[in-house]
Amino acid sequence: MRLPRIVGVLFFLSQAAIGGCQELAGILHADTTLTAELSPWMITADIIVPEGVTLEIEPGCALYFHDGAGIQIQSGGRIVARGEKENRILLTRRPDSSDHWCGIEFDDTMEENILSYADIYYGDEEGQIIDVHRSRVVLDHLAWNSTNRTIIELYHPSAIIQHCVFPAVDEVEIVHGEYLQDEEYLILIGNTFGSPLGYNDVIDFTDCKRPGPILEVYNNIFLGGSDDGLDLDGTDAHIEGNIFMNFHKRLEGSSTSNAIATGLRNGKTSDIMVVRNIFYDNDHAVLLKEDCSMQAENNTFVKSDSGVINFSEWPDRDVDPGKSGSFIGNIFWNYKQAFGNQFSQPGKPDPVITFSHGIIDATHHELGVHNIDQDPQFMDENGDFHLRSMSPAIGAGPNGLDIGAYVPAGASISGEPADTTQQTNATLTISGPGIVSYQFVINDLNGEWSEERSIAIQPSIKLENLQRGQSYTVYVKGKSAVRWQENPDYAASKTWFIAEPATFINSTVSSRLGSHRLYDAHPNPFNDSTVIQFDLVAEEKATVEIFDALGRRAGLLRNEILPAGSYTLPLNAQGWPSGVYYYRLIAGNFNQCKRLILVR
């Protein structure tokens, strides 16, 4: 009979007589692969992966665990379990049993551990299903059954948790963890979180503070709960692109229910960046207490039953108020109260609140500038918060963006010149939701990028002494509090062309010309520069364009109303590749094209 594909001599493996399963337990002494061909695998006791050993689990494998068994990845050990979308890995208890196995433990291993496309059922014998202790791990496209145990416990993690589906849990938090420092990280991307059935948070993470690493939460869906979605005490965080809904207090107690809550821990406050999120049907979107602060940019807050932002839990709880909230480009709509505890309890300082370029009721417009008190005109107020074409929020946000959550991530650019200009200087304004610094490059993404610039210190790019006869596009990559924007999502300015001054020859156009006229360029063929001449017999909007042999526009020399007369336009093609080009004059009903040949 064919044996499993395993390197080395393993005393812990045997052919099981029951059901034809392969039995596996004990310490792995060599790299080990569990194949789908010999699946299912019966795990009769702990599998221990020690230093220098890799356990690989193939797509389509099923592992059945006895009661009390589990997987332990020790310091220097590694697990690679890469299932596939249509061929997932199954980790579960023995068929027809009521076993609860001990889950997976990562203990001080900084190897590249990965679990992907796997279903993990009944691994809740311990206090958690997956325990990450000072370890590096990627958890990708995982699913679990409902449980009364924490699903993931984290301590000093270096972890990416992405595209997982977390079930509802009973009387516990779904994810719990603490501490980030040095090169550690915790990044949550694209997950869906069910609702805890008791008075528990969805995610509780504490103690990570700038200038060290901070919690990063991107594009997740939080389906609700009775306590908090993110409970962040002493935790700085970047929270972007998420949906938070249905957080309502359903049990008695002095605390409140919030999509995001902050607080003090070990003398550390929480300072959070909240960007491009949707908050819908919650008691409070955010609780800012105990000297914590928030910067909120381009979020949409709809249907808050209490206060959209609560700066304390007074009078139910005597805790210090939050320090500040800065709101730029946000929509507050259909709420009972914009700011709970806006004016603090006796003897405490009021939080500092600013609100600009947003939609909020007029009584709060004095908190900033360029605010609107109008219906944002959502596509659907009960779920689709994209803006209708006539929404007053369109283009009314910072740097010409829309107000609300549905704006592009990363840097934004405004202030470009007209499509065609004779100005050789330009000033572009750089902004973007959550962006704190940026770099830019002109025309060529592979060119030399500028030094990093702070938006607070240098919010504009000033370009001087630009060349006539050239087109310009500026590319910008923005940096949030934690990471750089990546290509292909760099911001790109509108392209503009700096025209050579048109030489007005004379205002007397021969009366024998029945229409406008486009002359042959001279010289032609040419090297780097040539001259294009045309006549207008009447005042007309004249457009002179250059195209390459594939019909792509290479330049726009003129696009404006000109009086009748004769004109010459210099064309500078320095830097253009050799080949055939075409130039065209459009003026009223006149449309003529001629050929150019560029020779190096």
Examine domains 412-498 and 503-598 and report if their fold is the same: yes
What are the residue ranges spanned by the domains of the chain?
Answer: 22-145, 412-498, 503-598
Q: Measure the CA–CA gap between 593 and 574, rounded to whole angstroms.
A: 22
CATH of 503-598, one of 2.60.120.260, 2.60.40.1930, 3.20.20.140, 1.10.10.10: 2.60.40.1930
φ, ψ dihedrals at 400, nearest 5°: 80, 5
Angle at 52 between CA 48 and CA 56, to 5 degrees: 60
Best CA proximity match to 531, nearest among 503, 499, 570: 570
Q: Which two tokens stand for residue 374?
A: 């109008």
For residue 91, the model assigns a pLDDT of 98
Q: Are 90 and 123 in contact (CB under 8 A)?
A: no
Q: Measure the CA–CA gap between 535 and 517, rounded to whole angstroms.
A: 5
The one-digit pLDDT tens for each residue of the chain (600 residues) are 223 333 333 434 444 434 457 999 999 999 999 999 999 999 999 999 999 999 999 999 999 999 999 999 999 999 999 999 999 999 999 999 999 999 999 999 999 999 999 999 999 999 999 999 999 999 999 999 999 999 999 999 999 999 999 999 998 999 999 999 999 999 999 999 999 988 899 999 999 999 999 999 999 999 999 999 999 999 999 999 999 999 999 877 678 999 999 999 999 999 999 999 999 999 999 999 999 999 999 999 999 999 999 999 988 888 899 999 999 999 999 999 999 999 877 888 999 999 999 999 999 999 999 999 999 999 998 899 999 999 999 999 999 999 999 999 999 999 998 877 878 999 999 999 999 999 999 999 999 999 999 999 999 999 999 988 788 899 999 999 789 998 888 999 998 888 777 666 666 655 456 789 999 999 999 988 899 999 999 899 999 999 998 888 888 888 888 888 889 888 888 878 899 999 999 999 999 999 999 998
User: In CATH, what class is 412-498?
Assistant: mainly beta
DSSP 167-229: PPBSSS-SEEEE---TT-EEEEES-EE---SSS--SEEEEEE-TTS--EEEES-EE--BSSEE
